[in-house]
């Protein structure tokens, strides 16, 4: 990345859905944002263009974050003069909900390993950068399904996200003395392209069972992430912030 006076942020999977909203939100709050994408260059370019049209700074950076070598390179390209103030680990591959009876080891392994490989590599490479600059913020995007009641078909996704939550607790413990705050946002259902296949009737029922009366938009999650990387969250670390409009508390 070119030199900038702005604080810098890397959002993995920053080109669509929750990541795109987070890229825009952080740019609006004064960050120069590296918008990571995997395969859809056009979507990433659109996010960058919109940020620039609004007066912000951003660049699109391709990398498959599940590949440790590419994740490490991504970090090098996203830092500015060796600085990275905010890391948001958000990228998530789409998946087909599959009951355990039909869930192959290869699919289960790929889901859990992919989630943890990107979190591990990006975290391990980011901590020395943040330590050298005197601090920073890391947010992992998990899911309410990790701690919620099990639903059929979600074993691989739920296990991956539960492991991510646990990893984040250990990172928070080790990174606190380095001046790095580490937190998790755990959204319930969010209206993105990834969730667009869920029937409208299902979405309506979810909204009815949610105290705040609707399902989440990507911007709801983006604002929670922005809150966690902002000054008001200076003494918050090791937390899981659920962003589900209260759906979890309303469950029987």
Tell me the window of 58-66, 102-110, 130-138, 223-231 that interacts with ligand NAP (CB under 6 A): 58-66
Q: Is residue 24 within the footprint of ligand NAP (CB under 6 A)?
A: no
Q: Which 94-133 positions form the footprint of ligand NAP (CB under 6 A)? A: 94
Q: Is residue 91 within the footprint of ligand NAP (CB under 6 A)?
A: yes
CA atoms within 13 A on the CB side of 200: 0
Contact status, residue 152 vs residue 131, Cβ threshold 8 Å: no
Q: Give me the residue whose beta carbon is nearest to ligand NAP.
A: 17
Instruction: Give the C-alpha separation, 46 to 167, whole Å.
Output: 33
Smallest distance, Å, CB 3 to ligand NAP? 25
- Run of H or E including 47: helix 41-53
Q: Is residue 92 within the footprint of ligand NAP (CB under 6 A)?
A: yes
Tell me the window of 51-59, 61-69, 125-133, 234-242 that interacts with ligand NAP (CB under 6 A): 61-69
Q: Is residue 23 within the footprint of ligand NAP (CB under 6 A)?
A: no
Contact status, residue 29 vs residue 226, Cβ threshold 8 Å: yes
Going along 50-132, which residue ranges are E strands?
57-62, 86-89
- Bridge partners of 188? none
Tell me the window of 53-61, 62-70, 75-83, 103-111 that interacts with ligand NAP (CB under 6 A): 62-70
Q: What is the 3-state secondary structure (H, E, C) of 82-98?
A: CECCEEEECCCCCCCCC
Q: Is residue 196 within the footprint of ligand NAP (CB under 6 A)?
A: no
Of 28, 59, 93, 240, the one binding ligand NAP by CB under 6 A: 93
> Which of 32/38 has CB closer to ligand NAP?
38
Cα diameter, the chain: 53
Report helix, strand or coil for 79: coil
Site residue total, ligand NAP (CB under 6 A) = 31
> Which of 7/13 has CB closer to ligand NAP?
13
């Amino acid at each position: 990345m070119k030199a900038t006076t702005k604080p810098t942020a890397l959002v993995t999977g920053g080109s669509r859905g929750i990541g795109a909203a987070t890229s825009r939100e952080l740019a609006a709050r004064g960050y120069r944002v590296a918008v990571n994408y995997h395969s859809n260059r056009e979507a990433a370019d659109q996010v960058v263009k919109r940020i620039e049209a609004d007066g912000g700074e951003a660049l699109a950076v391709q990398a498959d974050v599940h590949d440790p070598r590419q994740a490490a390179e991504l970090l090098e390209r996203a830092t500015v003069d060796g600085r990275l103030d905010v890391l948001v680990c958000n990228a998530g591959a789409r998946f087909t909900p599959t009951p355990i009876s039909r869930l192959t080891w290869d699919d289960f392994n790929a889901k859990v390993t992919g989630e943890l490989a990107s979190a591990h590599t990006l975290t391990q490479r980011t901590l020395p950068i943040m330590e050298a600059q005197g601090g920073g913020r890391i947010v992992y995007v998990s899911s309410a399904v990790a701690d919620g009641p099990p639903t059929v078909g979600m074993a691989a996704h739920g296990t991956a996200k539960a492991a991510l939550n646990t990893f984040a607790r250990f990172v928070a413990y080790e990174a606190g003395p380095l001046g790095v705050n580490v937190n998790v946002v755990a959204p319930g259902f969010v209206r993105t392209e990834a969730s667009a296949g869920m029937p409208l009737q299902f979405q309506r029922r979810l909204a009815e069972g949610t105290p705040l009366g609707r399902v989440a938009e990507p911007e709801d999650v983006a604002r929670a992430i922005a809150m966690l990387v902002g000054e008001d969250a200076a003494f918050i670390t090791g937390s899981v912030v659920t962003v589900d409009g209260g759906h979890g508390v309303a469950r029987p």
